[in-house]
Amino acid sequence: MKNLNQSIESHYLKEGLFEDIVNRLKNQNIDLNNVKRSDIAGADEFHVRGAAVSKELANCIEIQGTSVLDIGCGLGGPCRMLAEEYDCNTTGIDLSNEYIRTANELSKLVKLDDKTTFIQGDATQLPFEDQSFDVVWTQHVQMNIPNKKKFYSEIHRVLKPSGYFIYYDILTKGKGEISYPMPWASNSNLSFLSKAEEMDLYLTDLGFTKKQSKDQTQAGIVFVDALVARLKECGPPKMGLNVLMGESTKPKLMNLLGHLKNDDLELKSGVYHK
Ligand SMILES: C[S@@+](CC[C@H](N)C(=O)[O-])C[C@H]1O[C@@H](n2cnc3c(N)ncnc32)[C@H](O)[C@@H]1O
């Protein structure tokens, strides 16, 4: 029987992911010696609103030139964006071996491997010394993590004094039953949604000071609505989240959209100071 981390890794697993992305680039006649971040942008940020929201988060603090840890980094799109556009030195960690292999290969492909490092590991047991990073960043990850206390205390531990924690997350309003599959979980056994108040309590108990919090739900609904409409009208795009979710893209997005519209789930971002 699989343990939880193995089940979560299986949920996200898409074998040959990097090769699939390369084939999609070739099919669009993109020169493999000159691939740009924008060529892979549809697939390498696995959260609602992709690069647009990542840039919005980056602009919340003076992030230029800092060292950033992205926890649950997926394919590494946000790390590459921070490396290229904000001159950050970025490290990404993720449970998925296939995502980490793909993240490293994609960084080589777009020639950002000197400023991005990706390693496989568990967010609740970070393999870094205390006070290693100026900024810790996480987007759409904690829904897979039952031990929130350990997750946030690890973030606090690896942040330098006066460092910033930036999050962008899906949270529950604690009302109705959630329908699955969702992008982060095929069933409820892989999903550990928490409320915004609970997250805030974990963080303030650790000594963090809340600097900013923003409701991102409406912007998220507009984005997912458009994505679903395009999927229905035109079918899967050449480089989109369908690269990661395959056949289940539409049901997962429709479940997410329904629960955001029903006010069962919310999207939030925020900044905390150590
Ligand atoms: C929805 S994806 C988001 C990926 C990335 N943050 C992004 O926005 O592009 C969630 C990611 O969290 C990772 N993850 C889930 N549980 C984790 C854990 N305990 N430790 C590290 N990564 C984890 C998954 O492997 C997956 O890549």
- Each of the 274 residues of the chain gets a pLDDT tens digit; together they read 679 999 999 999 999 999 999 999 999 999 999 999 999 999 999 999 999 999 999 999 999 999 999 999 999 999 999 999 999 999 999 999 999 999 999 999 999 999 999 999 999 999 999 999 999 999 999 999 999 999 999 999 999 999 999 999 999 998 879 999 999 999 999 999 999 999 999 999 999 999 999 999 999 999 999 999 999 999 999 999 999 999 999 999 999 999 999 999 999 999 999 9
171 Cβ contact partners less than 8 Å away, ≥ 6 residues apart: 193, 194, 195, 196, 199, 265, 266, 267, 268
User: 258: how many CB neighbours lie within 10 A of its CB?
Assistant: 14
Q: How many angstroms does the Cα of residue 29 sit away from the middle of ligand 1?
A: 31
Distance 271 CA to ligand 1 centre (A): 19
Domain, as residue range, for 28: 4-273
Residue 137 sits at φ, ψ, to 5 deg, of: -135, 140
- How many structural domains does the chain have? 1
What CATH code is carried by the domain that includes residue 83? 3.40.50.150
| pTM score | 0.97
209-215 and 265-273 strand pairing: antiparallel
**Ligand 1 in contact with 18 (CB < 6 A)?**
no
Distance of CA 94 from the midpoint of ligand 1 (Å): 6
Q: Is the CB of 141 under 6 A from ligand 1?
A: yes
Are 8 and 183 a contacting pair, CB within 8 Å?
A: no
**Mutation test residue for ligand 1: of 8, 21, 141, 171, the one with most atoms within 8 Å of CB:** 141
Q: What is the DSSP letter of 87?
A: -
Contact yes or no for 133/161 (Cβ under 8 A): no
Ligand 1 nearest-atom number relative to CA 184: 1
* Residue 204 main-chain phi, psi, to 5 deg: -70, -35
Local structure of 267: helix, strand or coil: strand
